[in-house]
Amino acid sequence: GNSVTQMEGPVTLSEEAFLTINCTYTATGYPSLFWYVQYPGEGLQLLLKATKADDKGSNKGFEATYRKETTSFHLEKGSVQVSDSAVYFCALTFSGGYNKLIFGAGTRLAVHP
């Protein structure tokens, strides 16, 4: 079946450190891949997405590249800020149908000054 696996958190970093959150997927076919972010007390927001192999999604300094050969979509940021503290969810869906999203378990990021 289709599934998403994320690295376990929490991830604790100092401000300006480099961030990587690993995400791999299992899918029948070619899904679109997403990173959603949930800030404390708020709903999920789309952070970035990629719809085909080798695409790179980017937003707010975050990047992720759709790697079909490794079935991965790792999230990276060169220099994190305290305001990036949140829970990050990797997800996949297939075009057409009901656009059902399949989420990973989420990774909590805590950035300290």
Partner 1 sequence: GAVVSQHPSWVICKSGTSVKIECRSLDFQATTMFWYRQFPKQSLMLMATSNEGSKATYEQGVEKDKFLINHASLTLSTLTVTSAHPEDSSFYICSRTSGGLETQYFGPGTRLLVL
Residue (17 or 102) nearer to partner 1, CB:
102
Distance in angstroms (rounded) separating the CA atoms of residues 63 and 74:
8
Integer CA distances (angstroms), 22 to 10, 91, 113, in order: 13, 12, 23
Q: How far is the CB of 101 from partner 1 (least distance, A)?
A: 6
Closest separation between CB of residue 47 and partner 1, Å? 11
Distance (Å, whole) CA 27 – CA 51 = 14
Residue 83 beta carbon to partner 1: minimum distance, rounded to whole angstroms: 19
Instruction: Please say which residue, 7 or 44, places its beta carbon nearer to partner 1.
Output: 44
Chain position carrying tokens 């990276």: 76
Q: Which of 112, 80, 91 is nearest to 5 (CA)?
A: 91
Closest separation between CB of residue 35 and partner 1, Å?
12
Whichever of 67 and 108 has its CB closer to partner 1, that residue is: 108
Site residues, partner 1 (CB under 8 A) = 32, 34, 36, 42-46, 49, 51, 89, 93, 95, 98-106, 108
Cβ atoms of 83 and 19 closer than 8 Å: no
